[in-house]
Structure 1
Amino acid sequence: MKWKWKHIAAVLCLSFLGALIFYVFQVDKVWQIVLYLPGNANPSEEGDHTGDNTGDQTKQMTRNVTTQVSISPTPGPFPYYIIRESNKCPEGKPPPFLVLLILTVAGEVEARNSIRQTWGDESLAPGLGIIRLFLLGVQESKLGRLQQKTLEAESLRHHDIIQQDFLDTYYNLTLKTLMGMNWVAMHCPRASYVMKTDSDMLVNTVFLIHKLLRPELKPKTNYFTGYIQPSSVRATIRDKSHKWYMPPEEYSNEMYPDYCSGTGYVFSGDMATKLYGTSLNIPLLRFEDVYVGVCLERLGIKLTPSPGGLFIPWRVPFSRAIYRNIVTIHHIDPGRMLDYWHKMFFKWEWV
């Protein structure tokens, strides 16, 4: 009888131990994210591929982020950088004329390489300065962990990737965009202009710089332009089956404010700090371009209409005459990007 009770006790102890181990692993899946406000970067930071260490003077806010697939925006923003590239815009050198913030995911290696060889080439504007940055979150699958190693090697080679500790999902594009604005505010606040765009876009950087922004002129301030969405598509959608469904508890108004298509918009360098700072007081929304529009409305800054047809948020059949005189075209795969760019600029000439 004594042996029986000892056996039962041993089984119960083993069961409790197994449950405790499972719990510990589950808790390990919760990330403690540290929020760095612009201008409060940790001075003790030594590397770009390590998490930030917090200092006594760092303003911070910790939140929990679970690794489950996100169906709504993850609370944030959290500028906890896995890959930072804080030396990309050194203080001792003239500030860049243009910073390109390009949203991508780990598996889009071919797209990133095509962009590096075409419109994201940092040598396109000699004497002016272009900074190219690819923006990423993290993926928690086995494939995602393998891709992370490849991504870190790619970063060491090209030094054009920044990454934070949030899930890289569709509804976290807002966080990804805020990460880019945070980086500009912290590390490159004197940049003349910033462009946010996506990895499946073809951007005519030459036209953007020399024909739209015009470096011979004094840089603008409080400037924000792109494809301004017409009022016909600014009504909030309450149909739960629709891709762009917006829950009323997330955004209660029936109309969105004026906003530019997230496929590509350009703003003056001063706007990065203003938008990021404003975002700290506005709950996140699942649609990045709408959210930026809400921040602009809070700031009281009006969108600047661009000359007609320069920002195109859809695909247009290739025409050298058209492509050389626009800023953005959507849905361009890596192969076409290389081909079209070569046809647009045979020897990088501009007339």
Structure 2
Amino acid sequence: MTTKEDIIQVALVLLIIQCLLAMYGFIYYQECVKMKKISRIVVLQPTNITRQRTQTYVTTSRPNKTEVDLKPRLREKIRFLIEPKKDLNDTCSLDKCNSTNGFRWSMVTFVKSKSDHFAQRETLRRTWASVRIINNAQFRTIFVVGTNPSTQNTNALKNEQKQYGDILQYDGPDDYKNIMLKTLAGMQWASDNLPSNFFYSSADDDVIVNLSALQRQIVAAHAKMNKDGWSEFPLVCAYNIMPHDKPHRERGSKWLIDKNEYPWHVWPPSCFGGFYSTRVSLIARFYEESRALPLLRFDDVWITGIVRQHVGMPSDMVLPPGDANTVHHLEKNENMTLLWEKMLPQLETQHNICLCA
């Protein structure tokens, strides 16, 4: 028979069990709240810089702290000290060449030069860079230079700009090992100031260009673009192409590159930097992509090979020279003026051409 004392004991046991359950429930609730405050998942939306890859990160929230910025850090834009005329017209091109007429296409060539290479720039202006029009295509040239501590050099450069209006000086070094910065300066200025359907060319100041042959290359590349259904204009290697060249590892070589800078045994297919062309629309994409990548000393293979691959542009869109004499790199004792004088009569005979020498 159940006694009164037995009933009281059972009631006490049940009460103790209820208290323990309530206590454990409270502790579990506190731990859940704590975990929700400490940890949360942030999902980043894809961007063109990360090449459409969605990534997940865990961050810790702290009082009065903003969320961690997980976007790639972009290289600062280049500052310019001297800029060319944005309309790209001078008195000669307006009066003599009637450059206000419509053209089928326009090309601006950015020539990498040193600030003290006054004679070289004068020679180019008198030779192939004097061409403003060939048939229905218009051509302009801009010289990209760095800074020089010499006051005399600075004043001479300002006078040169006042006379010709074709100088782009960026606030940075003028030496060869930083030549990639000159290339980026031209790319940035072209992206910000030229129509996207203009053609962009990069050149050295010690080459002579057969613009007639270059025009044929551009026309042929455009035809191939349409035939193959490409969404963008290709890279035209007017000087030469590097199909699968090996990096120089020999000590003392001008083009030596350590494996820490570039570890692979071959370069990606790319253009030699003497001269190459494409559309401003593609250069703008290359430039934006380059801002998130480490610099490489060799601007040609970096831009047209490595950056190109990061953008996703396939190697079959890097076209080799269609004409062997499109661009000639001057040897030590060759005279650009004499070579141009031999080339000019053929240009004037075969084409409707306008010069502003």
TM-score of the two chains, using structure 1 as the length reference: 0.65
Cα distance per residue 1:13-34 (max 9 Å; x no partner): xxxxxxxxxxxxxxxxxxxxxx
Letter in structure 1 aligned against 2:83 = R
Letter in structure 2 aligned against 1:244 = W
Q: What does residue range 16-31 of structure 1 map to in structure 2 within 5 Å?
A: none
- Counterpart of 1:88 in structure 2 is 87
- Counterpart of 2:308 in structure 1 is 296
The alignment partner of 2:310 has SS state of helix
Q: Given the superposition, is the C-alpha separation of residues 258 and 137 from structure 1 closer, same or farther in structure 2, using an over 3 Å criterion?
A: same
The alignment partner of 1:129 has SS state of strand
Give the Cα–Cα distance (whole angstroms) in 1 for the partners of residues 179 and 288 of structure 2.
18
**Counterpart pick for 2:181 among 172, 175, 181:** 175
Work out whether 1:163 is the aligned partner of 2:162: no
Tell me if structure 2 keeps the 8 A contact 1:219–1:268. no
Work out whether 1:275 is the aligned partner of 2:286: yes
Q: Which moved more, 1:263-272 or 1:235-244?
A: 235-244
- Counterpart of 2:330 in structure 1 is 331
- Counterpart of 1:284 in structure 2 is 295
- Counterpart of 1:229 in structure 2 is 242
The alignment partner of 1:124 has SS state of strand
**Long gaps (5+) in structure 1:** 1-74, 311-325
Q: By how many angstroms is 1:131 displaced? A: 1.8
Which structure shows the bigger proportion of residues in helix conformation?
2
- Counterpart of 1:348 in structure 2 is 348
Work out whether 1:98 is the aligned partner of 2:107: yes
Q: What does residue range 1-351 of structure 1 map to in structure 2 within 5 Å?
A: 78-85=77-84, 87-89=86-88, 97-125=106-134, 127-140=136-149, 142=150, 145-209=151-215, 211-214=216-219, 221-226=232-237, 227-231=240-244, 234-292=245-303, 293-301=305-313, 302=315, 303-307=317-321, 309-310=323-324, 326-331=325-330, 336-346=335-345, 348-350=348-350
Q: Given the superposition, is the C-alpha separation of residues 171 and 202 from structure 1 closer, same or farther in structure 2, using an over 3 Å criterion?
A: same
Q: Given the superposition, is the C-alpha separation of residues 86 and 168 from structure 1 closer, same or farther in structure 2, using an over 3 Å criterion?
A: same
Give the Cα–Cα distance (whole angstroms) in 2 for the partners of residues 77 and 328 of structure 1.
33
Letter in structure 2 aligned against 1:153 = N
Q: Which moved more, 1:219-228 or 1:155-164?
A: 219-228
Q: Given the superposition, is the C-alpha separation of residues 236 and 340 from structure 1 closer, same or farther in structure 2, using an over 3 Å criterion?
A: closer
TM-score of the two chains, using structure 2 as the length reference: 0.64
Q: Given the superposition, is the C-alpha separation of residues 84 and 212 from structure 1 closer, same or farther in structure 2, using an over 3 Å criterion?
A: same
Q: By how many angstroms is 1:97 displaced? A: 1.3
Cα distance per residue 1:280-323 (max 9 Å; x no partner): 1110001111211100111121243335553xxxxxxxxxxxxx
Tell me if structure 2 keeps the 8 A contact 1:89–1:187. no
Letter in structure 1 aligned against 2:254 = K
The alignment partner of 2:128 has SS state of coil
Equivalenced residue count is: 256
Q: Given the superposition, is the C-alpha separation of residues 304 and 287 from structure 1 closer, same or farther in structure 2, using an over 3 Å criterion?
A: closer
Give the Cα–Cα distance (whole angstroms) in 2 for the partners of residues 104 and 287 of structure 1.
15
Q: Which has more radius of gyration?
A: 2
Alignment identity in percent?
23
Q: By how many angstroms is 1:191 displaced? A: 4.0
Give the Cα–Cα distance (whole angstroms) in 2 for the partners of residues 299 and 161 of structure 1.
30
